[in-house]
Structure 1
């Protein structure tokens, strides 16, 4: 009798994207009737003190002084040999991972962050558990790669080609797209939805999303400038950043009905569906959500590393505009709002990037491989 798969999803909470992807995939397995699915923040559990320190360093890397250091790390590690940082990476979290394997006895390991402990164990310590990796960017860094990873799920054909340039067999790569929450795959826009959030049904809506680490600086001036146009309305998602919400609240009173502040919201996809332009940092998840909803976007000042590479991909595809300053945010937003030609072309290009049902594709492929392996091995893994 075939054993139902047990899935261990390994991730990290540096920003929101990796962990959010893990949660999305867990939902996908649960929807398929697989109820033994566990998410582990491997570094957070293995090294809580170091993990907190690393998150603080990452936060500071978005500052004027930290950005060059992160740039050096991201592009410098591209050239490190297995005797350098990659060697450390293969061993980081290994002890905790062995404990998790003994606890949950997984038949599938899935990673949404470049964690090499799992494939390293498979190659060196005879832990024969298939390992799958979802690359959560529109680019690839070699720290994602290991010869014992069973299959890679990637965002685009370009990422697949980059993996092949690193020597990964094309049979081990699936162009699935990046999995996002189900709500972003819906397109049931209605004026009633705008009314739900107190928005004018005929005004153009600009959505500001700050991202998991930091917010757009000098938001007050940007709001003042954009609010001069009475035919637009601004929605600023503050999330759990109470300080930001308190700082901007006077502007909501100054521009009643035009400036709307939103705290943490589960149904953020609804705001994407009713907006005409998104202003955001280029996290891969936010970009994927914009593509899924064909929401024209203005990317603000990408940080060196994966943000810059993600932004580059969308800009080169004509799916986003770049703003490096406050003035450019204002001018680029106005360009999207005032020109239907610009807006419609961006929507078309976003549709070309978008891949629907990525979550289901990944889950179904992993389950198909798992069940096939069970049949070939006589019912056991």
Structure 2
């Protein structure tokens, strides 16, 4: 009988789901039966749907409110407080796992990590629980000493996790689709979509799956410089796409091809899109990041030498100008490529499964 793996995610944007799906694909190739569950869907009375909508609206319309919540609950060296929501989710997850008991559980979202840690600590979860951290800046809501092992963005984050939980932690290679790791050969897909000339430097501006952030102003500033052609990636936000003056794209499944034709990526979330760009060898500049984990993630990536964090319009243009130096681009690309030399997440999880 083959091993069964339960992967927990949450539809907060698209990044957590994409990591869970790619991990499931890789584990299936190892003959592991995988199930992917959105923990928000386990909550009764459409609570999960309400949480998703509330978070989206805060990030879109009231970032100051999310910043306040983040500072109050996410930023601290103390363990997270006990929460009725976490206990409710743990109970619902316990009932779900009794229906089809897994041989191990992997969490790719912090609320799921809290629930599995609580279940493991109380003895209700008797199989290993692994947390795959998807944020570059590891906040305390990821951390619960009940979990067995942590897979972190890099070794520096892993050391922090070990200090604060006492649990084994290590860096792992980013979990991105294999198409992003193939040799980056510039094509015409992005140039055609942007209506750009052969010598134009096209800069992708990512607004995430929900199309959030002040990306319209960013695009206007780049266009006004006369040096770069901005293309805004609006995700599923069609209203944003209609508002952007200049090239703008909706949800796309051909991101590897788009990135192959880009000069740089401007990002505001420090999430999966950055890892995909790293895999492609595309330089990343963080600018006007969303509050909380987006801002802290941008700072963490810059500290690791993976990207540049521009704080002003002038800094953004200067950061893009520096990328004209091919030697500087190669240095950045080597640092990003080194992330993929770490142990693959599926190998660690396979060893946990036995």
The answer as to whether partners of 1:21 and 1:179 remain within 8 angstroms in 2 is: yes
**Distance in structure 1 (CA, Å) of the matches to 2:268 and 2:148:** 32
Matched, 1:15 2:2: no
Q: Which residue of 2 aligns with 1:375?
A: none
Matches within 5 A, 1:1-381: 3-34=1-32, 36-47=33-44, 49-62=46-59, 63-75=62-74, 78-79=77-78, 85-88=81-84, 90-114=86-110, 115=112, 116-169=114-167, 172-194=168-190, 197=193, 199-217=196-214, 219=216, 221-228=217-224, 232-248=228-244, 251-252=245-246, 260-324=247-311, 328-329=312-313, 331-340=314-323, 344-345=327-328, 347-354=330-337, 355-356=339-340, 361-371=344-354
Per-residue CA deviations over 1:2-59 (Å, capped at 9, x if unaligned) read x21111111212232222211111111123333x211111123223532233223323
- Residue 308 of structure 1 deviates from its aligned partner by 2.1
In the superposition, relative to structure 1, how do residues 134 and 48 fare at CA in structure 2: closer, same or farther (>3 Å)? Answer: farther
Give the number of aligned pairs: 348
The alpha-carbon distance between structure 1 residues 364 and 65, as it changes in their structure 2 partners (threshold 3 A), is closer
CA distance 1:223–1:59, change in 2 (3 Å): same
CA distance in 1, matches of 2:304, 2:90: 40
Q: Judging changes above 3 Å, is the alpha-carbon distance between structure 1 residues 194 and 306 closer, same or farther for their aligned structure 2 residues?
A: closer
- Give the whole-Å Cα distance in 2 for the aligned partners of 1:131 and 1:228: 51
Aligned residue number for residue 377 of structure 1: none
Structure 1: how far apart are the matches of 2:211 and 2:186? 31
Secondary structure, counterpart of 1:65 in structure 2: helix
2:7–2:34 contact (8 Å) kept in structure 1: yes
Q: Deviations over 1:305-361 (max 9, x none)?
A: 32222111222234333344xxx34x3443244334667435523531442277x81
Provide the C-alpha distance between the structure 2 equivalents of 1:239 and 1:213, rounded to a whole number of angstroms.
6
Normalising by structure 1, we get a TM-score of 0.81
Larger Rg: 1
Runs of at least 4 residues of structure 1 off by over 6 A?
none
For structure 1, the residue ranges without an aligned partner over 5 or more in a row are: 253-259, 372-381
Alpha-carbon distance between aligned partners in 1 of 2:65 and 2:149, rounded to the nearest angstrom: 34
Offset at residue 218 of structure 1 (A): 6.3
CA distance in 1 between partners of 2:124 and 2:73 (Å): 31
Give distance in 2, aligned partners of 1:135 and 1:126.
23
- In structure 2, the CA distance between the partners of 1:205 and 1:332, relative to structure 1 (3 Å rule), is farther
The structural deviation recorded for 1:154 is 0.8
CA contact (8 A) 1:275 1:295 kept: yes
In structure 2, C-alpha distance between the alignment counterparts of 1:20 and 1:73, rounded to whole Å: 28
Unmatched runs of 5 consecutive residues or more in structure 2 = none
For residues 265-292 of structure 1, give each alpha carbon's deviation from its aligned partner in whole angstroms, at most 9, with x where no partner exists. 1111222222111111133212222222
Is the contact made by 1:16 and 1:212 (CA closer than 8 Å) also made in structure 2?
A: yes
Question: What is the Cα deviation at residue 66 of structure 1?
Answer: 1.3
Kept in 2, the 8 Å contact 1:317–1:349? The answer is: no
